[in-house]
Each structure stands twice: as structure tokens, then as C-alpha cells.
Amino acid sequence: MKRLLPYLREYRKECIIAPLLKCMEALVDLFVPLMIADLIDRGINGSDKSVILSVGLYLLLLAAAGLALAMIAQWFSAKAAVGFATKVRIALFKHIGDLSFSSADQIGNATLITRLTGDINQVQSGINMSLRLLLRSPFIVFGALIMAYRVDPYSAGIFLITIPLLALVVYGVMLLTVPRYRKVQGKLDGILRIVRENLAGARVIRAFNLQQKETDSFLEGTDAHTREAIRTGRISALTNPLTYVIVNLAATLLIYVGAIRVDNGILTTGQVVALLNYMAQILVELVKLANLIVTITKALASAGRVGTVLETVSDMTYPADDGPEVEHAGVSFRDVTVQYAGSGAPSLSHISFDARPGETVGIIGGIGSGKSSLVNLIPRFYDPSGGTVLVGGHDVKAYGRDRLRCRVGVVPQKATLFSGTIRSNLLFGAGPREEVSDEDLWKALETAQAASFVSQKPGGLDEAVEQNGRNFSGGQKQRLTIARALVRKPSILILDDSASALDFATDAALRAALAHLDFHPTTFIVSQRISSIMHADRILVLNEGELSGIGTHEELLASDPVYQEIYHTQFREEKDHA
């Protein structure tokens, strides 16, 4: 919460006024029993009609005052809570945008989304409730105690015993049940897992005739859940009866003590009634307070989580100026090593190579051989743990963040499109303030082998793209993301296994088109298929993070055992049958 407090600073005024007004409203409530005592003692027992009428008038005025105070207070607290949440959300969103890949990776996408949505909403309602009730409820509890003391110090002793007793019951039950509810939730999660598993694995389960076994384990799960839930329910079922007994027995005791003191002329009848009314007020507020504490606990936990993300510092720094221009840049690696946090072996170790401007570099290797790690270093998505990556002869760390990235076109492994239109997705690839003609877009689509299917769409460039591009096939998405990278005419083009869903013919046509680009980018093609990279000027063969070989297809085929093996598994049949 400490990390989030600055965002509340702008609402300092609201944060003071709202609780203050709520306390005043509470004060109004505290006066009512006194008025009733007056009504009975001076009005009825003193047979004074004017007292009765004026008490009635006062009660109406108090009610109106209470309403007015509450209405203003609620407005201020709503304003502070909602405004605060908005500010935090904007700050968090911006902060996430500025995090480096590796910092954000460590947190994880699912977590980031929950922080931005559920957690912030939780904090918002926590603040709203706190502003309204955190002061008010204790104020009434202690206010009623003080008022009772003022009426009769001796009877107030009953309050002094009742209040801690009630608090003990309300919070004791809460303390006992909260961890148990977590256990119940755990059991429910187990049930959920079984359902999900059975839906995803319906075919396999039926193929192995496991339906009965699965049903048995589900029934076991629901049994355990029911047992746990009933056990927990048994404890929370105590709250109402226990508080009822305590408050009403205390009230009975109050009447008894009151009766003796009235008999002795120390108290009046009206005062006894007033004491009874204060007792009733205390119970209501204690229950409210218990609910409030649950809300606040949740909100604080959420605030802590949001704060942790906000405190995550990006592990990358950039120079103050933009750094050198990037045009027709070559790429060099000097003894580069990458080791991700928490992993045992390095993903890349001691990689060195040079790619001249305009060259095409193929990168091949098995899963987990470090292909993606290598290309991710070029636009500086990650920093190497050792060694230097040079673009255009300068260390990538010498460039301003956007300077380098604006000149690199990356097509990631996972084809990600955004909801909008084909045009809006392609323009994503252009510089923020760059004008791009339709002709340029079509040219990019043509190179990416996407022009034909885009032109067949009724909307053409304005065809809608749904979230995650789910209205396009895998191959279409890949081609659109390739076109997106081409729109900016990058100096360096990186295709990270981004043609895997294309058939061989389309893949070949794509490679041919890329080779004839008029802006001659230095191109990196990552692939698992030899056919995709065999024509490259230079091929890097990666094996478990190490550079096993470097050279042209023919050279590697003659000298590199890993390359030979890969070639063999992919082309064996050809040779067998040739």
C-alpha cells in the first residue's frame, strides 16, 4: 500500500473530509437515544406536550442532517476511490509498457492482467469502504460506550464487558474460518481441475474407457469439498446465535441493573431505555466492522501485489541521446553469453560471428538450442549476460530505445495480431508519425505472399481483424505479421521461425521475394527446416546454446556433424528414393 499512497495524495482533501463527515453523521445517530430518553422522562412522565413535539422536530432535523452529511461524504469517498484507482491503473499500464522483456517475463502475462484488473478494483472498493466506515464504526462503538457512561457510569460497566465479548465472537469466528475457507477454495479448485481435464481429454479418456474411474475421482473430490465446506460452515453458523445471546442477555442485565437504580432514584425510566438503545447500536456496527476488515484485508493484499509490480525496475537502461543512425547496418556478436535468471545452463554461450549489411543469415538448431535467444539480442529485447552485440559497428547499448527498434523489423515466432483492421495492423509496423500509402502496404503484403488472400477479402485492407486475429488461419496470420515488419522498410529484418505454418511452395516464394527487396535489409531467418535457410549467405548452427558451425550450406554439410544430422533426418527419404 505504501507504494500506492502517492496516487491518493491528490485526493487528500477528499480523504479527510469523507471520514470526518461520516463521524459527524455517527454523532447524529448517537444523539437519538438521548432524545428518546428526554421524550419519556420529560414528555410523557412529565406530561409536557411541547417537549414531545420539539423532540419530534429534533428527530426529523437529525435525520435530515444525517442524510445530508452522508450524501456529501459518500460523494467524496467515491471520488477519491475511483480517481485513485484510475491513476494507479494508468501508472501501472505505463510502467508495464516500460518494463524490459525479461523483467515482464518474470512476472508473467496472466499476473500482469490480474494486477491491472481485479487487483486494482479490489483496492478501489477497499479505499471506498475504508473512507466511509473505518472511522465511523469504531466511533459509534466507543461513542455509544461514552454516551452510556455519561448516562450512568455504573451501567456502562456492562458495556465494557459486552463490547470485548462481542468483538471476540465476531473476530474469533472470522479468524477461525478464513483459513478454512481457503481450504474449501482449494478443494473447489481440485474439482475444477478434474472437469477441465475431462473436457480436454475426452477422447483419450473414452479411448481407454476411463469414464468410471474419472467419475469416481470426481465424486471423491465433491465429497471432500462438501465435508470441508460443512465443517467450515459449522463455525460460521455460530456468529449469529452467539452475538444474539450476548447482546440480548446484556440488555436483560441492563434492565435488571437499571431497575434497581431507578428504584433507588439514581436513574430515570427514559435513561434505561436510552441505555438499551445504545446496546443495540453497538452490535450493528461491530458486524459492519467485521465485514469491513475482510474487505480491507483483501484490498491490502491486492495493493501489495500491485505495488510489487510498480516497484519492479526495468533491468535495462538507455543512453540519454538517441545514439548513432542505423542504416545498412551489419550485425556482430562478440563472445556473447545469455543465461536467464533461475536456469541452470546458459541459453547461449560464447557466440561470435559477423553479418555484413544486406546479408541473409540462416539460423538452425533444435528446440531450446537458443535460436530465439540469439535474434532477440539484436533489437535489444534482452541484454546478454556476457559479451557484446554490435549493430552498425556500435554496441546496441549505445542506441536510444526507439532508435534501434524503429530500424529493426521483427516477426516473432507467435503471430500476434491486434483487433482492428488489416490496415491498422500493418500500420503498427510504421513509425508512429510516418505517412504510409496504400501502395506501400500492398507492396509489403505482396512480398509477404499475403496480397492474394487480402485482396480476396471483401473489405480488402479494411477487413476487420478480431482479437488475437482469430478470424485468420495460422499461415495467414504469419504472413500478415511478416508484412507488418516490412512496412517500415527495416535495416535489419528478423524472421523468428515465422514461416512454420506455410507450405513449402509459399515458403519458397516468400524467400525469393525477400531476396529482392529494394531496401536490402540484413536478414536473419530462424527455422527448423533446412530448406528455409539453405540458400542463406551464412548459416549459424546452434546446438544446446553453442555455435556448432558457421558457413554456407555446402560448407556445413561437409564439416558440421549437427548440421549433417539435421539434414539427414529431413532429407533421408529423398536420398533413399532418388
Partner 1 sequence: MPKIQKPTGTESLILRKVLRYVRRYRLLILLSVLLSAAVTALSLYLPIMQGQSIDLILGKGRVNMGGLMQILFVMGLSILLTSLAQWFQNLINNRVTYHVVKDLRNDAFRKIQRLPLSYLDSHPSGDIISRVTTDADQFAEGLLMGFTQLFSGVLTILGTLILLFTINGIMALLVLVLTPVSLFAARFISSHTYSFFKSQSEIRGEQTALIDEMISGRKVLQAYSRQEQVGQQFDEINQRLQHSSLYAVYYSSLTNPCTRFVNSLVYAVAACCGALLALSGRITVGQLTSALSYANQYTKPFNEISGVITELQNSIACAGRLLELIELPEMPADPPVPESIEVYRGAVDLENISFSYTPEQKLIENFSLHVVPGTKVAIVGPTGCGKTTLINLLMRFYDVNSGDILLEGKSIYSLKRSDLRNGFGMVLQDTWIKETTVRENIAMGRPDATLEEIREAARSAHADGFICRLPKGYDTVLGKDVELSEGQRQLICIARVMLTLPPVLILDEATSSIDSRTEMRIQRAFDKMTTGRTSFVVAHRLSTIRSADMILVMKDGHIVETGNHDQLMARGGFYTTLYNSQFASV
Find the binding residues for partner 1 in span 460-519 (CB under 8 A): 467-468, 473, 484, 488, 500-501, 503-505, 508
Question: Given the C-alpha cell 478501489, which residue does it identify?
Answer: 124
Residue 317 near partner 1 by CB under 8 A:
no
Length of the chain: 578
Residues within window 98-137 making contact with partner 1, judged by CB under 8 A: 98, 101, 104, 109, 112-113, 116-117, 124, 128, 132
Other CB atoms within a 10 A radius of the CB of residue 2 amount to 9
In whole angstroms, how close is the CB of 508 to partner 1 at the nearest point? Answer: 6
Work out whether 408 is an interface residue with partner 1 (CB under 8 A): yes
Which is nearer to partner 1, 335 or 509 (by Cβ)? 509
b/e burial code for range 130-152 (CB count within 10 A of at least 16 → b) = bbbbbbbbebbbebbbebbbebb
- Report the residue number, 41 or 163, with the smaller CB distance to partner 1: 41
4: nearest Cα among 135, 119, 131: 119
**Min CB(139)–partner 1 separation in Å:** 16
Residue with cell 536456469: 343
- Which three-class secondary structure state does DSSP give residue 435? coil
The verdict on 412 binding partner 1 (CB under 8 A) reads yes
Q: Does 20 bind partner 1 (CB under 8 A)?
A: no
What's the CA gap between 280 and 251, in Å, rounded? 9
For residue 225, state whether it binds partner 1 (rule: CB under 8 A).
yes
Which of 31, 75, 181, 318: binder of partner 1 (CB under 8 A)?
A: 75
Of residues 227 through 246, those in contact with partner 1 by CB under 8 A are: 229-230, 233-234, 237-238, 240-242, 244-245
For residues 369 to 388, the per-residue mask of contacts with partner 1, x marking binding by CB under 8 A and - elsewhere, is x---------x-x-------
Q: Is 578 in the site for partner 1 (CB under 8 A)?
A: no
Nearest to 528 by CA among 344, 364, 315: 364
Q: In this structure, are strands 360-364 and 492-496 parallel, antiparallel, or unpaired?
A: unpaired
- Residue 301 touches partner 1, criterion: CB under 8 A: no
Q: Which of 27, 52, 135, 557 binds partner 1 (CB under 8 A)?
A: 52
Residues 321 to 360 in contact with partner 1, rule: CB under 8 A: none
49 binds partner 1 (CB under 8 A): yes
In which residue are the cell numbers 528446440 written? 367
**Contact present, 336 and 413 (Cβ < 8 Å):** no
Q: By CB under 8 A, tell whether 435 contacts partner 1.
A: no
The stretch among 4-12, 188-196, 300-308, 323-331 that binds partner 1 (CB under 8 A) is: 188-196
x-marked contacts with partner 1 along 249-278 as a string, rule CB under 8 A: x-xx--xx-xxx-xxxx--xx--xx--x--
Give min distance, CB of 368 to partner 1, in A: 8
DSSP 8-state code for residue 314: P
Position 154, amino acid: Y
Q: How many CB atoms lie within 10 A of CB 115?
A: 23
d(CA 232, CA 240): 15
CB 392 within 8 A of CB 369: no
Please, are residues 58 and 171 in contact by the beta-carbon 8 Å criterion? no
Least Å distance, CB 458 to partner 1, is: 21
